[in-house]
Amino acid sequence: MKIRNIIPSCQTIPLIKPFITALRKVTSIEFVMIRVLLEDGTEGVGTASPTVVITGDSLQGIESAVQTILSPLLIGREIEQIAALSQTIQHSCIGNTSAKAGMEIALFDAYAKKLNVPLFQLFGGKTNTLQNDMTISINETDRMVKDAVEGVKKGFNALKIKAGLDVAEDHERIQAIREEVGPLIEIRVDANQGWTKKEAVRIIDGWEKAGLNINLVEQPVAAWDLASLKYVTDRVNTPIMADESVFSPKQALELVQMRAVDWLNIKLMKAGGIFRAMHIADIAQAGGIPCMIGSMMESGTGVLAAAHIAAAHPNIKKIDLDAPLWLKGSDFKAFPFKGPTIVLSEKPGIGYDFMENSGGGEA
């Protein structure tokens, strides 16, 4: 079945409260919704979210890449040739990983709908239920503690604590949160490249000596500095995870070969799509390194697509897909969150219906 048209549209959703990391402060999210229309009326939907400080992609750049680069290469092609379509997307230009990811998500949504299966089943997944974490944004210590306690009351057994803005305050915040939530809650810390290698070792060593039982520390040092990642990993007992350091399968292979980290964080907007995300998970699995799947501060089918991949790939062991919980309202009438539990729809595709949720029409 041929692709008849591809329609991008820019959208914005405000957040319930500011989201603050060591890299940026966010008060709303922007994304490009991508609709792929087949000749028989089947429609696939994907979203591409800009995160300039990580991917370098802007909203306008994503929209332009979809309109002027990707769409002309894909319109008129057969949706059944999904692997070839993915190769076309990846070879179309350098970078633009968010646009590539959003386009591939839309294509897979359409393809799975043609086959009348949910996306996770298309990849061999058996379960449609996942356990999510909750992210605690950087704030005053009292506020972060309150947010963490509220998350636990909602049923979350894993908290991801943002850090990296103030080295002196990071220890205090994590210690205060641990004291309030108790020993059984899993705490993950994300420094978003905020520390030097020696700061990272000193901070993590302090947590270990204090018995704070940190489950893992994500991207403690600059993304480009793999030697420093390995330096930290080799000197602490707490597992270290790469995030901004791993966009591509090639980077994943390098990290695995160096034994630079203990975990990899996969995000579709970094990887450039579903196939490359799966390849990263495969490489990590071959090297004995487990993966977490996360997302940018985004909405739409990007988060759902990531959840489907997590449900299908055996090497994705942790889930960090709470971004929709930050949205004021939602572009989903019924996003599949029940506290910390994500229950994926058994509907064909990703489980998002553009007509039902947006009131939009064909163009």
Quick: pLDDT tens for 18-32.
888 877 788 888 999
If asked whether residues 155 and 208 sit together in one domain, one would say: yes
- Pick the catalytic residue: 114, 197, 267, 318? 267
d(C-alpha 286, C-alpha 284), whole Å: 5
Task: Tell me the CA distances in angstroms from 117 to 147, 286, 337, 344, one per residue in order.
Answer: 38, 28, 21, 12
CATH number where 82 lies: 3.30.390.10
- Assess whether 317 carries a catalytic annotation: no
Residue 154 is assigned to a ligand binding site: no
- Assess whether 267 carries a catalytic annotation: yes
Q: What is the DSSP letter of 350?
A: T
Coil vs helix vs strand at 289: coil
Q: What is the pLDDT of residue 203?
A: 94
Non-local (6+) Cβ contacts of 15 within 8 A are 26, 27, 28, 29, 297, 326, 327, 328
If asked whether residues 92 and 155 sit together in one domain, one would say: no
- Pick the catalytic residue: 100, 114, 162, 230? 162
Residue 135 has pLDDT above 70, yes or no: yes
**Quick check: pTM over 0.75?**
yes
If asked whether residues 264 and 314 sit together in one domain, one would say: yes
If asked whether residues 148 and 78 sit together in one domain, one would say: no
In the sheet with 3-20, reading across from the earlier edge strand, the strands are 3-20, 25-38, 43-48
Q: Which tokens belong to 181?
A: 């939530």
Residue 234 is assigned to a ligand binding site: no
- Tell me if 328 is assigned to some domain: yes
Residue 244 is assigned to a ligand binding site: no
Of 116, 149, 170, the one marking the end of a domain is 116
Task: Work out how many domains the chain is built from and give that number.
Answer: 2
Residue 243 is assigned to a ligand binding site: yes
If asked whether residues 111 and 141 sit together in one domain, one would say: no
101-114 burial string, b = 16+ CB within 10 Å, else e? Answer: bbbbbbbbbbbbbb
Phi, psi of 295 (to 5 degrees): -145, 165
DSSP string, 18-50: EEE-SS-EEEEEEEEEEEEEETTS-EEEEEE--
Full domain range(s) for residue 241: 122-343
Nearest to 120 by CA among 352, 346, 277: 346
- Tell me if 363 is assigned to some domain: no
If asked whether residues 339 and 224 sit together in one domain, one would say: yes
If asked whether residues 128 and 262 sit together in one domain, one would say: yes
Query: What is the tens place of the pLDDT at every residue in 232-284?
Result: 999 999 999 999 999 999 999 999 999 999 999 999 999 999 999 999 999 99
Residue 97 has pLDDT above 70, yes or no: yes
- Tell me if 329 is assigned to some domain: yes
Residue 230 is assigned to a ligand binding site: no
